[in-house]
Structure 1
């Protein structure tokens, strides 16, 4: 009997969105693609989760109350100065070129327009060489 190769573990993804429906959609899409991770509802919770667990990717909503995507991305990048860089993909219903360019300039690695879809998520993972 020959041993079968083990399937490589899926990605550990931190999903940050203040909308419960968006979190459920993201969780289902990631699960369908064989990935897991954690779901949090705001930027402060994301910043608290990052040092506690190694994540392969952060999916970060732009529009959230209190600590929005801009401030959260800035804090993530500032905290990485001496450590390993985690890819951050911004999410928004506003997929305009100006919005995407602004976030790329701020340190984002990608952009997804909501509602999320398997093809769009798969393409971002491929571009980031995570899939």
Structure 2
């Protein structure tokens, strides 16, 4: 069962070179893991415990990539994806993060406008592949 997180826009890293990544997940542990991995990669960004907080952050700040959990209560990943596409268009790469990495799920979210699917648990090699696919530079 997912833990409840409190809204935050805490930085992931201090360097100016790393990609700015928004991580959206209602599970505090998943946010912590993503934050640690991204920090190790030299990225910086923000954490959002739900879709509405993510939308608020995207209205206020520029991001290079959004990692968006599919399974969240109330304003779920699909609703958030559609709202982010309406707000930011195609200029913002959005990758769905899921424990259900099957072909039907992949096709569904790609058809809705996602740029990719990333299976849980997250790993640095998988995150690097996603970032390279989005054309993002990584320090180091």
Please, what TM-score do these two structures have when normalized by structure 2? 0.84
Q: How many residues align?
A: 123
1:90 partner SS: strand
Q: Do residues 60 (structure 1) and 98 (structure 2) align? A: no
Q: Return 5+ residue gaps in structure 2 as ranges.
A: 1-14
Deviation at 1:80, TM superposition (A): 2.8
Q: Return 5+ residue gaps in structure 1 as ranges.
A: 1-6
Deviation at 1:127, TM superposition (A): 1.4
Residue 33 of structure 1 aligns with which residue?
41
Deviation at 1:8, TM superposition (A): 6.1
Q: Deviations over 1:51-95 (max 9, x none)?
A: 1110010000000001000000000111235xx721000001000
| CA RMSD of superposed structures (Å) | 1.4
Name the CA shift for 1:100/1:33 in 2 (closer, same or farther; >3 Å): same
Deviation at 1:129, TM superposition (A): 1.4
Instruction: Please give the alpha-carbon distance, in whole angstroms, between the structure 1 residues aligned to 2:64 and 2:42.
Output: 13
Instruction: Please give the alpha-carbon distance, in whole angstroms, between the structure 2 residues aligned to 1:78 and 1:89.
Output: 16
Q: 1:15 aligns with which of 4, 15, 23?
A: 23
Q: Which structure is higher in RCO with an 8 Å CA cutoff and minimum separation 6? A: 2
1:116 partner SS: coil
Q: Do residues 93 (structure 1) and 78 (structure 2) align? A: no
Residue 6 of structure 2 aligns with which residue?
none
1:51 partner SS: helix
Please, what TM-score do these two structures have when normalized by structure 1? 0.89
2:83 partner SS: helix
1:80 partner SS: helix
Residue 108 of structure 1 aligns with which residue?
114
Name the CA shift for 1:127/1:38 in 2 (closer, same or farther; >3 Å): same
Which protein shows a greater Rg? Answer: 1
Q: Do residues 127 (structure 1) and 101 (structure 2) align? A: no
